[in-house]
Amino acid sequence: MTMLKTETPSQRHALLDQYADDELVGAFLDDQLEAVEAVRRAAPQIAAAVAAAVPRMRAGGRLIYVGAGTSGRLGVLDSVELYPTFSWPHERAVALLAGGAGAMFKAVEGAEDDRAQGAADLRAVQPQDRDVVFLLAASGGTPYVLGALHAARAAGALTIGIANNTDAPVAREAEIGVTLDTGEEVISGSTRLKAGTSQKIALNTISSALMVRLHKVYGNLMVDLKASNAKLVQRSVRLTMHATGVDEATARATLEQCDFHVKVAVVALLNGQSTAEAEAALARAQGSVRAALAG
């Protein structure tokens, strides 16, 4: 049986259990840097994934994440962070995890081997051709994920396969394959280490780039967040002040008129409009702050 790179014992750290504390920490940290380089090498494929996904998102499509174990949990994490960060609707970020929602907190052994269940779970969310499906598997051959991949392709959805081994089925059989070649792990076979880190970076990069393209960022400011707690209210005030140059009292007063929607406050203040007029300008500009200011 050919051993996957992610499962091959590292020759650099054969005596890991004998390292002093500082050496042990150093070994893990140095190895994590390779995750960044693996993602950097895959930048062309990641950019292609963003370009292909944007028109589907503009057409009302969903982001659907599919994975098992660590990879699946990383997909869940990316999906749930989109609403508070970018006001991305909950129903447009769907995460499927082998073993069900309970597997987020307690491993469900064997669930990843059920190819038919992966296909059934994907079909249950009724994929459409405007949806984008992320298929996540460090090994690149997880049956649950492959079942979902083929069901997604049959439905016409855009499939983006992310794997940590070269020539992996998940990446090879998806419409766009992203190979994060992280190689051997410090702890042999523990893909929660740099393989997981690389997947987290790739997912963050893709979803954040999509949100920029969908006008949820102005300059480099997060202007479409949901101010759902005291910290985010303060952040909304600071962002509005930074974008417009007004003082705190003016920023807060304007935000209070539009339910702390930073986009609306920024356009209202910079255009000298009421918040209702700013909302209308943003609607005409399809949510783009720059277009609303220019119009």
What is the set of active-site residues? 81, 112
Token pair in block for residue 105: 């907190």
Angle between helices 262-271 and 248-256 (to 10 degrees): 120
CB 187 within 8 A of CB 16: yes
Q: Is 69 exposed, middle or buried (0-12, 13-18, 19+ CB in 10 A)?
A: buried
Sign of the dihedral defined by the CA atoms of residues 79, 85, 88, 90, in that order: positive
Token pair 């500082």: residue: 22
Mind giving me the DSSP string for 94-132?
EEEETT-GGGGTS--TTGGG-HHHHHHHHHHT---TT-E
Q: Would you give the end-to-end CA distance of the chain in angstroms?
A: 63
Instruction: List, in sequence order, every residue forming a beta bridge with 95; answer none if it has no partner.
Output: 65
Token pair in block for residue 102: 């309970």
Report CA-CA distances (Å) from 31 to 27, 179, 269. 6, 18, 48
